Amino acid sequence: MTLTTCSTSTRTSSRTHRAALLPVEGAGRAAGEVVRLVLDAVNRRDGDALVDLVHPDAEFFPILAALEGPVYTGHQGVRRWLRSLELDWEVFETRLDRVHDFGDSALGEGGWHARGRTSGVLLDSQGGAWLARVWDGRVTWWRTYTDRAEALATAPTPGRFKGGRRAV
C-alpha cells in the first residue's frame, strides 16, 4: 500500500483538518483504468468517487474550458465542475470507446451525448478525447479535447513514458 501525506481532508465538509499519513486507495491502478473510473463517476455525478480519483492539487480542463471556460483545481474544483454540469446541461453523458495507456498518463477516446439546459443545443456523436496524467492512482491533470486529432497529437509517444502505448 502506498502512503501519502495529506494536510486536509476535503471528502466531506463535516471532516476537520488533519495531518497524517493516509493510504492512497487504488495506488496500483493503471492510468487507463483511472480514466475509465473518472468518466464513470462523471456519468453517475458521484462527487465522492471523483474526489477519490483526483489528487488534491489536480487541474481539470473540461469541455467548456477547451472552449474558453474555467479551469477547475483540486477537490473543491471538481465538485464545482460536477455541479456546473447539472446546471448547464439537461443531459450530459460521456461515451468511452477506447483507452490508450502510457504508464503515467492515458488517453481516452469517445464522445458525448449532451443537451444544453438553456440553449437546447444537442451534442450527439460528438467525437472527443480525454488526456490524463496519473500519479499513485489519482489524476493530477485532466484535459478534454473536442478534436481527437489534437488529443492524439498531444498524447505522449511510446518511449517517452514508461509502459509504452497500449490500447486497453
Top pLDDT among 34 and 166 is at 34
Q: Is 131 helix (H, G, I), strand (E, B) or coil?
A: strand
pLDDT at 26: 58
Cell digits for 83? 455541479
Distance CA 158, CA 67 (A): 29
Report how far apart, in Å, the C-alpha atoms of 6 and of each of 3, 11, 42, 64 are: 9, 12, 24, 30
**Measuring CA to CA, which residue among 82, 97, 88, 160 is closest to residue 117?**
88
What is the tens place of the pLDDT at every residue in 13-63? 333 322 223 334 556 899 999 999 999 999 999 999 999 999 999 999 987
Give me the numbers of helices (H) and strands (E) for the chain, helices first please: 5, 9
What is the tens place of the pLDDT at every residue in 86-110? 998 999 999 999 999 999 999 999 9
pLDDT at 76: 96
Q: What angle do CA 52, 57, 62 make, to 5 degrees?
A: 80
Contact 59, 73 (CB under 8 A): yes
Chosen CATH of 26-167 out of 3.40.50.10800, 3.40.50.2300, 3.10.450.50, 3.30.70.141: 3.10.450.50
